Amino acid sequence: MKNTLVTFSKLTAGIVFAAVMVSCNKEQPKTSKPAATTASAEKKTEEIVYVNSDSLLNNYDYFKDIRGKLESKSKKAQTDLTAKGNAFQREVAEYQQQAQNMSADQRAATEQRLARKQQELAAFNQNASSALANESALENDKLYQKVAEYLKVYAKDKGYRMVLTYSKTNPNILFADESLDVTKEVVAGLNEAYKKEKK
């Protein structure tokens, strides 16, 4: 269960925002002068901005809610598994104490029953992990869609041609001027949109 949650966090940090490179279909303004002026060079620089995905994840309310929901489900599944495992161990210990007083047929029947229970326990663990992994993948996809859709509109409104992602854990960008960091503005917009959705 814990591995699934760690995988979800890594997937979210890696896949979700490493893939968020949004380019708008806005044409570049054509100039009659072939030589680039300082003003036009600054304009071109501002057409590309970046979002710090670590900061976005830590501050985006939707992601916090998803993470909380998945952690809660993981803990519940872990608690259920532990309870079933403990009950099984008690049955095995009980059998071991009584085995000497049982007939061969009774021992064989009890061992078969315990073997079935052990298989059921393994299947329960596998199913719970698989269900959590599937839900994590679905939530991951929803998260990507929300951020990508928001950034398309945001970039178009601001006149940005591309929004890159930056993360200390997955540094595809080695250096970017902090003036190009639009994370706070993006997080504020995402949280505002999510607040309206929840109503």
pLDDT tens track for 55-87: 999 999 999 999 999 999 999 999 999 999 999
pLDDT at 175: 79
- The more confident residue out of 18 and 169 is 169
If you search the block for the tokens 């591309």, which residue do you land on?
A: 162
Considering only CA atoms, which of 186, 184, 162 is closest in space to residue 46?
Answer: 162
5 neighbors 137 (Cβ within 8 angstroms): no
Q: Do 8 and 136 contact (CB within 8 A), yes or no? A: yes
pLDDT of residue 73: 94
Q: pLDDT band for 17, please (50, 70, 90 cuts).
A: very low
d(CA 96, CA 136): 41
What is the chain's mean pLDDT, rounded? 81
pLDDT band at 199 (very low <50, low <70, confident <90, very high): confident
Are the C-beta atoms of residues 156 and 26 closer than 8 Å to each other?
yes
Name the band, by pLDDT with cuts 50, 70 and 90, for residue 3.
Answer: low
